[in-house]
Structure 1
Amino acid sequence: MQRTLPSRLRTPLAIAMVGLTLAACSTSPLGRNQLALFSNDELEQMGQQSFAQYQEELPEVGGAAHDYVQCVADAITAEVPADTQVDDWEVKVFDDDSANAFALPGGYIGVNSGLLDIAEDQDQLAAVIGHEVGHVLANHANERVSTQAATQTGLSILQSAAGLEGAAGEQLMGLLGAGAQYGVILPFSRKQESEADKVGLDLMAEAGFNPSASIDLWQNMASQSQGAPPEWLSTHPSNQSRIQGLQDRLDEATPLYEQARASGKRPNCQR
């Protein structure tokens, strides 16, 4: 049976959500509407703070490993459109066994050393870095923090309008919070991950890396992620969903790769 909110709750919540939507709408590179409540300056500051915190928590890796990652990252970021307003990307390799990487607003790229055990060559590494830079190009950080801010605003309005107090009120707000988490925030994150896969695939192809290597990469990832949570409880698509999405995109990315190679873009990044 479908349940609806009481009318006394629907009205203030609807007004708040409409106000947020009208206040800040943007469009992703693939044409999807987004909520963006924060300015570029605010996002760059968040990126800088997050990168500084990561540097404090983990030791950096230099030498050949850093040079290799830097080489791949330089080729990828050379294809970033000028309107991104990032002229110089800072690249670091961190001593951590987890197969992880990230890119942040403001031009920061981090790669954990454990990823180099999974990404077997420059093309597979380019698939990861392209994906992470794709998040930045698609303004996903703004969308994520904006969605979380809007969700918290909505829950606060509900609590105030309903006069929820005491143990019963806390229990109901906990259930509403869980509903927001699994019904709003996580699905949004999966959409962002799939979108970053597509944007990143095009980006690596334009840089002269073979986009078909992304399939090999995620097959490697799948073999290392036994026991992962079901897709509906995860911020990421399942490995099989991700592989299928990349395969579907290859028809568009492969011509970009062939054109890049014909124009002389042939990265040669050595491990």
Structure 2
Amino acid sequence: MAACATSPTGRSQLMLVSPNQAVKASASAYPEKLKKYAEEGKLNTKPKMLERVKRITGQLIVEAEKMYPEAKQWDWEVAVIDEPDTVNAWSMAGGKMAIYTGLIEKVKPTDDELAQVMAHEISHALANHVAEQMSVAMASQIGLAVLSATALKDNRYRSAALTGAALAATLAVSLPYSRAAEREADKIGIEIAARAGFDPYAAASLWKKMTKVNKGAPPEFLNTHPAAASREKTLLELAPKMMKYYHPNEHHLRYRFH
């Protein structure tokens, strides 16, 4: 009964919510999620840090849009949330992202390493992982029978699904991605970062730092990944394959955020 789709790497996905629906829902949910931080005086309060994140993310976006032309239609946004104890980052559909100051201040990533974090988040959006997570959330709340592919053809059910879409988009951010989705984001992200001029080997060095900061436990935004040793091994295997895309002196364009 469930709708199916295929990810950029060929993985089958549960897709009760279309990518376009996820983008629209996230456009509504994103400012609402950030509103709390703004009211607490925690949103974009560190100009230099925000500028650095935007500069690095902007370079990644240029390459992401080349690889996935549909993303050129997105209204990209990135925020820095001032929570020094939170080592985390997240993304919604349509290029809506945020990173916490705790990740930057505790991990102290190089530009190459910070690029791996943001490329990973960008990749979740490109691979429609948010729409996939929304589908899981909505299925659990409303029921597969109501949100089945057949039911969605009926305007009455489509309307009901969209009513809860913004809520599902918000919930999707808090739900852990599957290991398959996380591996997929790693694979796509490391290539985007390499094409944008960031060292592919920084993915593994980032993981070492993250693990050390979290005293061996997986950091929050990677909590569904395989064990540290396994993940580091996978990233090190991917890195040399990405070197053909890595030309650090050729990618210094800044993307103008909307």
Match of 2:24 among 38, 45, 56: 45
- Given that 1:103 and 1:135 are in contact with CA atoms closer than 8 Å, whether structure 2 keeps it comes out as yes
Structure 1 residue 155: Cα displacement: 10
Q: Which residue of 1 aligns with 2:180?
A: 191
2:76 equivalent to 1:89: yes
Equivalent residues, number: 211
1:45-102 deviation line (CA, Å, top 9, x unaligned): 3322332233222221241111111100100011122122434411211111211112
Higher relative contact order (CA 8 A, sep 6+): 2
- Give 3-state SS (helix, strand or coil) of 1:56's partner: helix
2:205 equivalent to 1:219: no
Q: Which residue of 2 aligns with 1:76?
A: 60
Whichever residue aligns with residue 59 of structure 2, its letter is: A
Cα distance in 2 for partners of 1:36, 1:84 equals 19
1:101-148 deviation line (CA, Å, top 9, x unaligned): 122112212111111121421101000000000101111111122234
- Give 3-state SS (helix, strand or coil) of 1:136's partner: helix
Whichever residue aligns with residue 131 of structure 2, its letter is: N
When the two chains are superposed, the root-mean-square deviation of aligned CA atoms in Å is 2.6
Q: Which residue of 1 aligns with 2:88?
A: 100
2:50 equivalent to 1:66: yes
Larger Rg: 1
Q: How does 1:79-228 map to 2 (within 5 A)?
A: 79-80=63-64, 81-97=68-84, 98-117=86-105, 118-150=107-139, 153=143, 189-226=178-215, 228=217
- Given that 1:26 and 1:34 are in contact with CA atoms closer than 8 Å, whether structure 2 keeps it comes out as yes
1:16-58 deviation line (CA, Å, top 9, x unaligned): xxx21xxx22111111111111123321233223322332222
Against the structure 1 CA distance between its residues 39 and 155, is the aligned structure 2 distance closer, same or farther, given a 3 Å change threshold? closer
- Given that 1:209 and 1:266 are in contact with CA atoms closer than 8 Å, whether structure 2 keeps it comes out as no
Hey, which bits of structure 1, 4+ residues long, moved more than 6 A? none
- Give 3-state SS (helix, strand or coil) of 1:110's partner: strand
Instruction: Give 5+ residue unaligned stretches, structure 2.
Output: 147-174
- Given that 1:194 and 1:245 are in contact with CA atoms closer than 8 Å, whether structure 2 keeps it comes out as no
- Given that 2:71 and 2:94 are in contact with CA atoms closer than 8 Å, whether structure 1 keeps it comes out as no
- Given that 2:22 and 2:134 are in contact with CA atoms closer than 8 Å, whether structure 1 keeps it comes out as no
- Give 3-state SS (helix, strand or coil) of 1:250's partner: helix
- Given that 1:208 and 1:267 are in contact with CA atoms closer than 8 Å, whether structure 2 keeps it comes out as no
Quick one: percent identity of the two aligned structures?
32
Against the structure 1 CA distance between its residues 119 and 51, is the aligned structure 2 distance closer, same or farther, given a 3 Å change threshold? farther
Whichever residue aligns with residue 205 of structure 1, its letter is: A
- Given that 2:9 and 2:184 are in contact with CA atoms closer than 8 Å, whether structure 1 keeps it comes out as yes
